[in-house]
Structure 1
């Protein structure tokens, strides 16, 4: 019974985290929303993985459509809004400044719903469970962030290695061509012409 209560409390206290990767095409604005109740907290962290200068515009709107957070040309960020009324809260990624390159954005949504008041005896345990849940989710977010960064750096390294390989092949072909030309030219230069 006690284990079931503990598991139920952990499940109820856990904040939710969702990881999403989208491609924001050139000249577009991608918006998403979450339904929040008064007092809930919505946090969005994002990272631009690929595309152009790796920068994008970000904004958050409250339930009335008023802009509450705005960030221009960022490659990553963490923004939070606390709901002052029930409704849909939007967060948008804007790629309107770029006319020809789509950008891949990975973002994480953290919703912290205010729990209902619990019985007096279970408050410290429930608060500890909520804190533990937040810590676990923070570790998971950091791991996802490190995986995304590692993927970006690996792709950059592979691209650089590919360019170095093709440049080396091109240089080798040029050196062999010049050597062949020089040998033939010198051979003809020192040829003795016989008169008959």
Structure 2
């Protein structure tokens, strides 16, 4: 039987703190409104917000992220998808908002992820295996974000295809009705023309 190696408690805590935390949300932003969220960060904490509009209007939304002093760290206007990454320079509450103020009619469905890494300074005592686990956690998070992006894009494309299919169907029905009406009118007109000549 092979001996098992148990990591000491401080190493285990360090490993858990270094893993990336992720929160995924889907919200509806009503027309002429904005939805804001916040995260409490400490100096050198890292945070990334990725978002994508999955439905409504022209599939666009305004986004911004501000630090505790209300200084904008990232702004996007009328974007369908985006990502903002920051490293906190101050302790405090970092706010990010999705704004649909530019749309007077259409509500928007927004899917977004918030993920971050609690800062852990480089320590010579960290084993290479733990560094690899950190790198794998970051890579795994990137794959998860990409999968969620693909799912939302597939939903948007499916809705577009179904809408196009409905439009083609109704246009074909209208064309058929117009064709029958024109044929009927031509038959009636020709019949009345020949009857009047008799």
TM-score by length of 1: 0.86
Indicate the RMSD between aligned Cα atoms, in angstroms. 2.3
1:174 pairs with one of 175, 178, 188: 178
Show CA shifts across 1:108-142 (max 9, x none).
1111112367671x432211101001111111110
| Partners of 2:18 and 2:117 within 8 A in 1 | no
Shift of 1:13: 3.4
| Partners of 1:57 and 1:72 within 8 A in 2 | yes
| Partners of 1:60 and 1:70 within 8 A in 2 | yes
Evaluate the alpha carbon distance shift between residue 3 and residue 183 of structure 1 in structure 2; reply closer, same or farther with a 3 A threshold. farther
Residue in 2 that maps onto 1:36: 41
Residue in 2 that maps onto 1:128: 132
Residue in 2 that maps onto 1:61: 66
Shift of 1:93: 0.9
Evaluate the alpha carbon distance shift between residue 117 and residue 169 of structure 1 in structure 2; reply closer, same or farther with a 3 A threshold. same
Residue in 2 that maps onto 1:84: 89
Count matched residues: 191
Residue in 2 that maps onto 1:15: 20
In 2, Cα distance between the equivalents of 1:166 and 1:88?
Answer: 52
Gaps of 5+ in 2: none
In 2, Cα distance between the equivalents of 1:176 and 1:55?
Answer: 43
| Partners of 1:41 and 1:82 within 8 A in 2 | yes
Residue in 1 that maps onto 2:76: 71
Evaluate the alpha carbon distance shift between residue 193 and residue 77 of structure 1 in structure 2; reply closer, same or farther with a 3 A threshold. closer
Is 1:96 matched with 2:101?
A: yes
Shift of 1:184: 2.5
